[in-house]
Structure 1
């Protein structure tokens, strides 16, 4: 569980720093257009910090962190975040500097999102194994 807390904390710091970087880097370069840098901040805070705070709560309730599928989720999800955010930062910086962006970076961002999705599938696999079906002597929850 502490790993999820530390991961959320790291994503919070990166999210805040990326927002500061976006504001100062675009101001320094007199850039007023659109770039990928404008959404790095929200990606890190929402897909990083908030997701891992939710994971922390679910881990506390269901004891997920010792499971193999949870570890698969953790590493795939974070790898997907690094690929996605890294390609977004590179594209954003190149846009602000007025440089041409190689097409491979559009592919990399998409690949990062795919790795994120596979990680989420592993997370739901771990969660599904821990969420117990109602027994005969306990009432089932209404749908």
Structure 2
């Protein structure tokens, strides 16, 4: 349970830092256009902080961490989340700087696919967990 709380705290801190980074980076660059950096902190806070608070509650009430595959899922979710965040930061910095990065869309697409797979895996584990609780 503690690892879910620690992950939640880490994403809270990272999300708040991302919000400050967006504000200060665009201000220093005198950038007024659209950039994915604007939504980065929201993504981190919802998909990191809030998500792991929910997982923490599932673990406390239903024993999510005792489910087969939950440890591997936790690692894959966090790796894909960090990859996802890194691609958003790279795209956002490129947008603010006016740099065209070829291939970034493919890299970001892979990050989204990995993250989506981790979410599906979470649902599969959660479904098994609920079925075991019903027995």
Instruction: Note the alpha carbon deviations across 1:60-117, whole angstroms, 9 max, x for none.
Output: 1111113332122211211111111101101111111122222x21112221121112
Unaligned runs of 5+ in 1: 136-143
Residue 46 of structure 1 deviates from its aligned partner by 0.7
Corresponding residue number in structure 2 for 1:123: 122
RMSD of equivalent CA atoms: 1.5
Which structure's residues are more often helix, by fraction? 2
TM-score (norm 2): 0.91
**Distance change in 2, residues 1:94/1:134 (3 Å):** closer
Separation in 1 of the partners of 2:52 and 2:100?
35
Residue 10 of structure 1 deviates from its aligned partner by 0.3
**Distance change in 2, residues 1:87/1:134 (3 Å):** closer
How many aligned residue pairs are there?
134
Residue 134 of structure 1 deviates from its aligned partner by 4.8
Unaligned runs of 5+ in 2: none
TM-score (norm 1): 0.87
Corresponding residue number in structure 2 for 1:101: 101
- Ranges of 4+ aligned residues in structure 1 off by more than 3 Å: 132-135
Instruction: Note the alpha carbon deviations across 1:44-70, whole angstroms, 9 max, x for none.
Output: 001111111111101111111133321
Q: Secondary structure at the match of 1:68?
A: coil
